[in-house]
A and B are shown apart, each in its own frame.
Chain A
Amino acid sequence: MNLDALITYTLTSTALLQPELLVAVGLMLILVTDLFLKKTVQKWISVLFFLVMGLALISLSRQSEVQAQVFSGMISIDGYSVFFKYLFVVSALLAGVMSLFSEELNQNRRRLGEYFIVMTGMVLGMMLMAGAANLLMMFVAIELVSLSSYILVSYLKDDKISNESGVKYIIYGSFSSGLMIYGISLIYGITGTLSLSEMNAVLQNPAATIDPVTLTIAVLLVLGGLGYKVAAAPFHFWAPDAYQGAPTPVAAFLSVAPKAAGFAMMLRFFKTVFFGSATQDGYVPLASLDWVSILAVISVLTMTIGNVTALWQQNVKRMLAYSSIAHAGYILMGVLLLSDSGIAAMMFYLAYYLIMNLGAFYVTMLLGDRVQSYELDDWRGLGFRAPVLAVPMVIFLASLIGIPGTVGFTGKFLLFVAVLQQGSLYFWLALIAVANSVVSAFYYFKVAKILFLKKSADPHAEPVTAPVPAVVLLFVFAVPTIVLGIWWSPLYNWAMASVRMITG
């Protein structure tokens, strides 16, 4: 194609990539400003961060109808990816605000510049993940996210625990990216392309001769990489350590955003590459490539391991880490169905999980900062000392369990709906999920028990409070947890619409 055409194409692509570019530019901006800001006015860097995110939101809102492939099929911009981009930006915003109230991040006037820079980079990476329609793009995006998250996790340089978690995280992470890139190379070798849609075409082409064994190995390796991102068993081991060590806002952020990104990517990968035309319900898998059963096994493993292990945790952050593993298991149910309602349920769940889990982590952070400990034993009777914080905590816990009237229930409900839509096929899966929910109820309410049912160590402990803005933010989490739990049709419609707009 001639030069003009190329230029115009690039320009249109660039235009369509506006949100990502905004974030990217913002990244530079923050980086530069940070250099010139004095230590005393550190906080202002966050304002810039929020500004960038806000702008990103605005430009996202102008992409609701777009459906295109840019930069020669590297990135596809569709309702699906936009939905996720919203999630990333919003969670980044919330996590950003959380960080402002976090003591561990702000103690001894630590510089927050890098923190927000890296976070911005992470957002950028996740946005690319959501859109990536090409193995190259996928890999780059994943790496961008990983790298930034390594840094965030080990952000508290002088804190041993944070440091340890960082080390484990980066070693495990780069290992699995090694697995993934090797898998990618194999796939590339077999199909001779890196673009997902072309791969699909090759696989569908009966003439093409594919060695199933190689393909299997390759895809398993890729799956390893993706599984690591969403913390699905058996690639989940890093998560508890990383979350426990990381600063709480980071842990909160990690537990929602990259997970969502991972799911977004995983789904796009499997759906685009290995499945033929969509039919009434679900999609027709290509011959000899039945990933569903594997994913089902992973899903069951993930939720079960996550829940039963969480039973024994004494550290709230760690417990929440395991719980987030368990939730990944639930979400996988939606992925493996590969039906419209399944995907919608997954997106829906991720959105709602964002609210309640950030909320839970946030309260954890506040309480933890107040009593200088995340050990449950130190939280005895805290409920009546700090009702303003503890009651919302109960709401979040109830939501994580899935009590009706909360977002958690709606999410689970739609997942079950999607599962049972397949008739009796995945009934067993639903039953296992039910059993798991019951188990989870036990450890979630263990926290409630500690907070309210136990007597605090010294009876005359003075009430615990938090600054008003912090409490306000708390309600920013708590209120939607209930309201959206009762009134959810708009979001569902949105998710449903986005699903229909997935493009290879």
Chain B
Amino acid sequence: MILSALIFIPMLAALLLILVPKEKTDLFRWIALAASSIQLVLVAFLIQNYDQSLAGINQAETYQFVEKFDWIRVSAGSYGILEITYFLGVDGLSLPMLILTALVGLIGVISSFTIDKHVKGYFISYLILLSAMTGVFVALDFFLFYLFWELMLIPMYFLIGIWGGPRREYAAIKFFLYTFIGSLLMLLVIIGLYFSYVTNPGAAPEQMVHSFSMVSMMNQQNLLPGSLLSAEHWRHIAFLLMFLGFAVKIPMFPFHTWLPDAHVEAPTPISVILAGVLLKMGTYGLVRVMMPVFPESWLYFAWGIGLFGVINILYGALAAMGQTDLKKLIAYSSVSHMGFVLLGLASLSTEGVTGAVYQMFSHGLISAMLFLAVGVIYDRAHHREIDGFGGLAKQMPVYAGWTLFAFFASLGLPALSGFVAEALVFMGSFSQPVTQNLAIVSTLGMLITAIYYLWTYQKVFTGELNPKYAGYPDLTGRELTMLSVLGAAILIAGIYPSLLTDLMTSSVNHLNDLVKSAGTASAGLN
């Protein structure tokens, strides 16, 4: 039951909050803090008892901490049985994401302490959001997955829309609609899959069990002959539709424009969650669903996916360089960094995919840290114009130091997590013929990223101190805690990556073999 606990503790806390009278603002904060701390503890427990040798992916039995109950099981007329299960499980792909969610979630709560408007509503939404995100990362039934996936929309809408900046309404609805259209297309594909796969192939039509379990869909022998998705071109169409659903979340060029708006308008903690965890849901969907369920399509489109990854990297970086708003800059840098994930996944090599997953984790921490850093200065100066600052390093040396740390982490300085991820992605994509050319081009990203971060630092922190900002206090204890916790995590993940990679290695390799083996059949990469 530990996974259920992991998911529902925040939700229960939210219910609890409903009962608390809305004057007791501190109580809300502490309850939320408690809830997310418990989550962190539970995750630690998971790591403790996690067996690294088990792969998961398409083998239901090698998932860990599994919970599986019949949820809905009805006879869909002549079509056999419609089965939805409450199916949770963890493997090497979801565990890192859980760690990330718990950690960033906690940080988010701490940074939410500054929220003083409608505190009750805020924390209720926040906790529901937390539950939804956790759920996405452990759900193994497509219906459940989709439920959590969508559940996250509404709290997010209000978190941006109520506690956000001046253009919050626009940003909120844009985020909502953009994600919504993506996920509806996804829903269609899910239903298509549901019709095309049965858990008991060969049974009589009336007895066939059409299940929403992802795991059964990952095993191609469950494919129902003659069904919609047994036709190759329909598989490709379905693949693209579903990919669109995830691409919006990643966000992949050209579906990324909701991100800058959402980030700029969202309050700091929500930006943290958004960049830290939400974006990862998209890429997580790719590894959890797209690759194992549509292996041959994945191989078929691998180069294209990698190409879009590169476009993300370069275009995102250039666009970031062109920004004048600090938060927008970081938002675009997120676009750029998520590109590495696509590139790594497209390479379908152990290093590449490991790097991609690692990038998901590391970018989660780094972007969280970056947004916190921006939040710090925004709280003081109430603007984010890069050119509006100057010489802050003299006034707030500690803050400057941590910001520089975050910047360098983000531009891939060795010994910090970002480097490990990017290095692995490069190694993987370069060593695979499909993506080699892409890898070469994408190295330019390293340069552009360095340029815009250092320029930004130069403009904001160096030079003579702008007298406007004299007398700003340096980091408060709370801010310092958040930054240093993340910083420490980034450093550890950068120096000793095995801590994390060991958790995912077997899954990643299994995933690769799974996809590649499907590729040997159809014309994929050599």
Contact = CB atoms under 8 A, between A and B. Distances in A.
Interface of A: 280-281, 339-341, 344, 384, 387, 394, 398, 401, 403-405, 409, 413, 416-417, 420-421, 423-424, 427, 430-431, 434-435, 437-438, 441-442, 445, 448-449, 452-453, 487-489, 492-493, 496, 499
A493 to B, nearest CB: 6
B131 to A, nearest CB: 11
28 contacts: A280-B78, A280-B205, A281-B77, A281-B78, A341-B76, A344-B77, A403-B151, A403-B154, A405-B147, A405-B150, A409-B150, A413-B191, A417-B76, A420-B188, A420-B192, A430-B188, A431-B188, A434-B185, A434-B188, A438-B177, A438-B184, A442-B173, A445-B173, A489-B73, A489-B74, A492-B74, A493-B75, A496-B77
B137 interface: no
Nearest to B172: A453
Given A404-B150, A452-B161, A452-B162, A496 B173 contact: no
Given A384-B118, A420-B188, A496 B75 contact: yes
Interface string B179-215: 0110011011001101100000000010000000000
A448 B162 CA distance: 11
A417 B184 CA distance: 13
Given A341-B77, A405-B147, A423-B228, A445 B191 contact: no
A272 B280 CA distance: 52
Given A281-B78, A341-B76, A496-B77, A404 B151 contact: yes
Nearest to A343: B77
Interface string B207-245: 000000000000000000000100000100000000000
A459 to B, nearest CB: 13
A286 B82 CA distance: 30
Contact of A438 (B121, B149, B169, B181): B181
Nearest to B79: A421
B328 interface: no
Contacts of A488: 72
A394 B194 CA distance: 30
B79 A341 contact: yes
A479 to B, nearest CB: 13
Nearest to A282: B78
Contacts of B76: 341, 417, 421, 496
Interface of A is mostly: helix
Contacts of B153: 403
B141 to A, nearest CB: 12
A496 B206 CA distance: 14
Contact of A453 (B154, B168, B187): B168
Interface string B146-173: 1101110110011001100000110011
Contacts of B258: none
A431 B121 CA distance: 35
Interface string B50-93: 00000000000000000000001111111100100000000000
B176 interface: yes
A361 to B, nearest CB: 21
Q: Which of B73, B161, B168 has the most CB of A within 10 A?
A: B161
A340 B237 CA distance: 27
Contacts of A430: 188
A488 B84 CA distance: 11
Contacts of B78: 280-281, 340
B177 A441 contact: yes
Given A341-B79, A453-B172, A404 B147 contact: yes
Nearest to A342: B77
Contacts of B184: 434, 437-438
Contact of A452 (B79, B158, B181, B192): B158
A441 B176 contact: yes
A493 B150 contact: no
B74 A453 contact: no
A435 B187 CA distance: 13
B184 to A, nearest CB: 4
A409 B75 CA distance: 19
Given A281-B78, A449-B161, A420 B73 contact: no
A449 B169 contact: yes
A121 B202 CA distance: 54
A421 B195 contact: yes
A384 B117 CA distance: 11
A281 B79 contact: yes
Contacts of B146: 404
Contacts of A421: 76, 79, 195
A277 to B, nearest CB: 13
Nearest to B234: A424
Nearest to B205: A280
Contacts of A487: 72
